A = this chain, B = another copy of it.
Amino acid sequence: MTEQPRWFREDCDEAGSAFSLQIRGRLHQEQSPYQTIEVFETTHFGNLLVIDDFIQLSARDNFFYHEMMAHPAIYSHANPRRAAIIGGGDCGTLHEVLKHPEIEQVTQIDIDERVTRVCERFFPELCASNDDPRATLLFIDGIRWMEEAPAGALDIIFVDSTDPIGPGEVLFSRDFYAACHAALGEGGIIVQQSESPLLHMDILRPMIEDMRGAGFRDTRTLCFPQPTYPCGLWSATMARKGLPFDGFREEDAAHPPFATQYYTVDTHRGALALPPFVARQLADV
């Protein structure tokens, strides 16, 4: 008698699609004060983090997202020393950011400590830098933290949020971007995960409008693969304070003091190459 395969399935209503991963079982489930956190063991993608029924990351393919959240923004800043991560409780972005020796301090503010504690247990590879002396992990309201941050105190802000529903919704707002703008120094960069350019133009366009409305002069959207997210094509959007973007530190990016799985100078350039179907929809924002 053969055991029937078991599956975790995520429906994507806005695409009329669903994505399923075969699982061996559920390793963890809890209701935190903010959300439902689950971890599954999949057959082919390693451990899988699910929050409120939405896939957050798999051990196998999170490198696309975390490398593309961290490295393009850092190499687009001339002298990135002081960083903040809003959200990012799985610590994967933090881990990538701390690979850069020029980063002197990173404060990560995620409202839900339970996400980090669960990831320390089930995704230790993502949390391997949590004890780095340059890192401070706070479990408080990231918006209030940003509003209270001293003006010009940051070089880069990573907004590593869940989808703009639930706790992540307030991170897609003009008021939040205005607080980020104030907290950044001249030439400072904010980078935010910005959903799928194929499926979520109704989120991406207003997000860019809000960034500009909050005072950011120039934005750049990066496209990259993310197999376990809906449609497999994802994006992050960078905005810069004061100055327009002016390339990135290609010499440094060509010789990173760490190994990567997706990021290179050439994939960085490739991610900036907006396909016409995206560029046309962003032409007037």
**Taking beta carbons and an 8 Å cutoff, which residues of A are in contact with B?**
7, 9, 14-22, 42-45, 61, 63, 198, 223, 225-227, 231-233, 259-264, 266-267, 269-273, 275-277
Tell me, in angstroms, the Cα distance from A45 to B198 when the chains sit together.
Answer: 11
Chain B residues, Cβ within 8 Å of A18: 7, 9, 18-22
Chain B residues, Cβ within 8 Å of A267: 270, 273, 275
Chain B residues, Cβ within 8 Å of A273: 264, 266-267, 269-270
Closest residue of B by beta carbon distance from A230: B227
This chain's copy number in the assembly? 2
Tell me, in angstroms, the Cα distance from A15 to B20 when the chains sit together.
Answer: 10
Tell me, in angstroms, the Cα distance from A18 to B63 when the chains sit together.
Answer: 21
- Min CB–CB distance A39 → chain B (angstroms): 16
Tell me, in angstroms, the Cα distance from A15 to B77 when the chains sit together.
Answer: 38
Tell me, in angstroms, the Cα distance from A22 to B13 when the chains sit together.
Answer: 9
Chain B residues, Cβ within 8 Å of A260: 276
Chain B residues, Cβ within 8 Å of A19: 17-20
Tell me, in angstroms, the Cα distance from A52 to B193 when the chains sit together.
Answer: 37
- Min CB–CB distance A267 → chain B (angstroms): 5
Tell me, in angstroms, the Cα distance from A20 to B11 when the chains sit together.
Answer: 9
- Min CB–CB distance A264 → chain B (angstroms): 6
Interface centre among A44, A225, A233, A277 (most CB of B within 10 A): A225
- Min CB–CB distance A15 → chain B (angstroms): 5
- Min CB–CB distance A191 → chain B (angstroms): 19
Interface centre among A16, A21, A45 (most CB of B within 10 A): A16
- Min CB–CB distance A43 → chain B (angstroms): 4
Check if A43 sits within 8 Å of B16, measured CB to CB.
yes
Tell me, in angstroms, the Cα distance from A114 to B189 when the chains sit together.
Answer: 54
- Min CB–CB distance A71 → chain B (angstroms): 12
Closest 10 CB pairs of A and B: A232-B232, A270-B270, A266-B273, A16-B44, A16-B22, A16-B43, A18-B20, A227-B231, A261-B277, A225-B233
Tell me, in angstroms, the Cα distance from A227 to B197 when the chains sit together.
Answer: 12
Given contacts A42-B16, A43-B16, contact A262 B275 (CB under 8 A): yes
Chain B residues, Cβ within 8 Å of A272: 266
- Min CB–CB distance A142 → chain B (angstroms): 30
Tell me, in angstroms, the Cα distance from A232 to B277 when the chains sit together.
Answer: 17
Tell me, in angstroms, the Cα distance from A231 to B230 when the chains sit together.
Answer: 10
Q: Out of B16, B223, B225, B276, name the residue touching A45 (CB < 8 Å).
A: B16
Chain B residues, Cβ within 8 Å of A271: 270
- Min CB–CB distance A47 → chain B (angstroms): 13
Closest residue of B by beta carbon distance from A226: B232
Check if B17 sits within 8 Å of A44, measured CB to CB.
yes
